[in-house]
Amino acid sequence: MPLLEIEDLKTYFYSDDAVVKAVDGITYDIEEGETVALVGESGCGKSVSSLSILGLIPSPPGRIVDGEVKFRGTDLLQLSASEMRRYRSRRIAMVFQEPMSSLNPVINIETQLTEGMMTQLSLTKRQAGDRALELLETVGISDPERRLKQFPHEFSGGMRQRVMIAIALSCEPDLIIADEPTTSLDVTIQAQILDLMQTLTRERGMALLLITHNLGVVARYVERINIMYAGRIIEHGASTDIFEKPSHPYTVGLLNSIPRIDRDTRSSLDPIPGQPPDLARLPAGCHFAERCRNAIDKCEREYPTTVEVEPKHTSACWVAEAVYNDNALQLSHA
């Protein structure tokens, strides 16, 4: 049984005159100790889907309309608020996007780091303090004793993200959800933080869900990738398969729009034309049809069914086979 199974999850936001379908029926799973990525551009619903897992959708206006989020077989969506609280950070912890604002500016690091351990694991202040010290050391902060007494403004962005990781690790969860953990950091720090998260989760056998808009970032770190577009998962597969044999035109577009060291340096990048659709006014057919190079008539009318192009590699596209074969062919020629 997978650690986390998400079945047909739908999270909608209701306003006076529209329903924004931020997450519109996504299905994926994470095995114990596995690192999985959820990739998509800004506003495609990836953050909303992760907040839905922990029941942190602001309601109103948001509501989880349908679906299941099964953690070791328990549907988290059926839990009461206080039962849900016990899952947070003890089973599933989260690292947020903005290390600058994810720490409370007026409380010192020690208090913030020990808060979870004291409430969730019922450690004494002393025990929690000792563990906090260890954790800071683990995430690579030097002089942890002095650092514990300091306030967030005395830390740099990268160090704050390290503190956030320490907080996430503090209750020994089984799954850490990292929502764009490196977006606001320097490129050099990005690699450090991702390496750190990977080592620490591997060491402890924790699963990691890495949410990002940067396909390049995840390449090295994840085993499986889910590509999300306009509220739905459009391609899923093992990391290498997605990179080598993408079978959805959107994934192909994403890969073409990032610089790669193994490409001809003189050729220019090839961006995806147009804008993602308005989530409140989604087209009847494939959400990507308008921007798609491979679009056929059917794409405009009907949302594609998901097909398996090879074992454990699925794509929601009417021409998935053709795209897949095309890329697989290129690979065999190379």
Where do the DSSP E strands lie in the chain?
4-14, 19-30, 35-39, 62-71, 74-75, 92-95, 175-179, 207-212, 224-229, 232-238, 306-310, 313-316
Least Å distance, CB 121 to other proteins, is 10
> Residue 87 or 229: which CB sits closer to other proteins?
87
- Note the residues at the interface with other proteins (CB under 8 A): 54, 56, 60, 82, 85-90, 93-94, 96-98, 101-107, 115-116, 119-120, 164, 167
DSSP 8-state assignment for residue 76: G
> Residue 91 or 287: which CB sits closer to other proteins?
91
> Residue 124 or 240: which CB sits closer to other proteins?
124
Residue 152, token pair as written in the block: 């967030």
Least Å distance, CB 78 to other proteins, is 18
Least Å distance, CB 46 to other proteins, is 15
Residue 241 host element (H or E): helix 239-244
SS3 category, 20: strand
3-state SS string over 133-197?
HHHHHHCCCCCHHHHHCCCHHHCCHHHHHHHHHHHHHHCCCCEEEEECCCCCCCHHHHHHHHHHH
> Residue 60 or 311: which CB sits closer to other proteins?
60
Least Å distance, CB 35 to other proteins, is 19
Least Å distance, CB 244 to other proteins, is 35
Alpha helices in 35-108 (DSSP H): 46-53, 81-87
Q: Are 220 and 234 in contact (CB under 8 A)?
A: no
> Residue 13 or 96: which CB sits closer to other proteins?
96
Least Å distance, CB 264 to other proteins, is 41
> Residue 166 or 289: which CB sits closer to other proteins?
166
Which amino acid is residue 297, in one-letter code?
A: D
Question: Regarding beta strands 224-229 and 35-39, do their DSSP bridges make them parallel or antiparallel, or are they unpaired?
Answer: parallel
